[in-house]
Structure formats: C-alpha cells, structure tokens
Amino acid sequence: MKPQRIVWITLIFYVLFIGVRFVFMLYPADSVKLRMAQESTPSASERRADNLWAYYLINDENPLRADFTVGLEKVQGDFMLDERCAGYAKRMIDDAAADGVYLTVVSAYRSVQKQRENLDSYIKRLMDEGYTSKEAKALAEKEIARPYASEHNAGLALDILTPDWWETHDDVTADFENTEQFRWLTENAHRYGFIMRYPKEYEDVTGYIYEPWHYRFVGVYYAGRIKESGLPLEYFYKTNF
C-alpha cells in the first residue's frame, strides 16, 4: 500500500474517532450519565444534603407503609404538602410571581382513599371508551399511581399548570411544556428542592407517562444533583444514597 494512501486512511480513521467521541460527549448514554453522577457526588462525610427525610423512592416497588401519616400545611388555596416542605413550595410560587410567572397548583396531597377513587374513576372512563378491563387498568396505571404508591399520598408532590389552563384544555396534557410556567420551573424548581419527576424518554424506567406538570420535593441538594445528571430519580437513587 502506498504511503500516501496509508496517511489518508489514518487521517480518516482519526477524524471518525474524534467525531464519535464528540457525539458521545454531547449525548452520553444513560450508563455514562449514571457514572458521571456517581463520581461527582461527595462521600457521605462530605455531603451537606438538606431534607434527607424526603429523599426516597415512592412507586409500585416502594409503596408507603399502610400506617403512614403526614403533617400537612397549605401551599396555595386548599392544596397542602408535607409541612416540612410546604415553605419551599410557597417560596417557589412567590418568587415565580415576582418574575411575572404565575404557577397554579391543581393537585398536591391526596389521601389514599382519594387516590383509589381517582384511579377507579379513570379506569371506568377508559372502559366506557371501549377498552377492556385489563387494558383500561394498564393504561390508567401509567398515569395514576396505585394507592400508597403515589408521591401525592406522601404530600411531596405538586401538579402545576397555568392560571388559564382550563379555559383551553379539558385535561392535563404534555403541551404544558410549551408554557412560560414550565420554562421557569425547568430553570428554577431545583433551587427550591423540586424536580420534574417523570421526564420524557424515561417512561420505561419510571413506569409513568411524561408529566411536565408533576414536581416532587427531594431537597435542594439532591434536586440540583438530579437536574445536573439529567436522570430520573430511579437511576440516580441507585448510586446516590
């Protein structure tokens, strides 16, 4: 093989190698994100994590205990959160308003009984639309958690929309991501200890549909870390506890 051809082949290989590395840097795989998050997290002795009581998973595999109780405090109207994080939510709502962005809470703490009623009602609605009982249950449980498996039951979650949402919508939908409220929350929610809990493209991990309106309190420290990682709580929690 001619030396000139060897040089060109070597150069092309080098350019392709650099290009692939650049793409992986821009769009790292979940396993890479997980390792980066783990390596950037201080050891337990170095942590200054706040509100560690709120840093835990709530889902089908990690339901609340049947005897779970919570002290509640109002955050907006009659909507309430765990009294230990209600102040963070109120400051977030007030600070957003100071920036000219008005956050409307449409759901917060829900009792287990209310959770059960919501799920059963949605299943019935889907069955009325023609789905079988099995199909309706499977679809409903991707949008509404089972009793004891909802973050709302723990008083740690807020559903947030725009003040005029119901004037143009009859349901909560993903186009909330096109609002100034969503943009403000994306930039600022972590400063108050909240994360957007069910991100896009991770439905198979979280078990729920993309919900840009659903915000979960985990404390300021971990909210910042989770936002930096770009990972859902399920992934992050595995190596950062």
Active centre residues (catalytic) = 211
**Three-class SS string for 137-150?**
HHHHCCCCCCCCCC
CB-based contact 110:144 (threshold 8 Å): no
- Strand ranges, E, within the chain: 72-76, 79-82, 104-107, 157-161, 194-198, 211-217
Tell me which residue of 131, 66, 227, 183 sits closest to 122, measured CA to CA. 131
The residues near 233 (Cβ < 8 Å, ≥ 6 apart) are 57, 195, 197, 206, 216, 218, 226
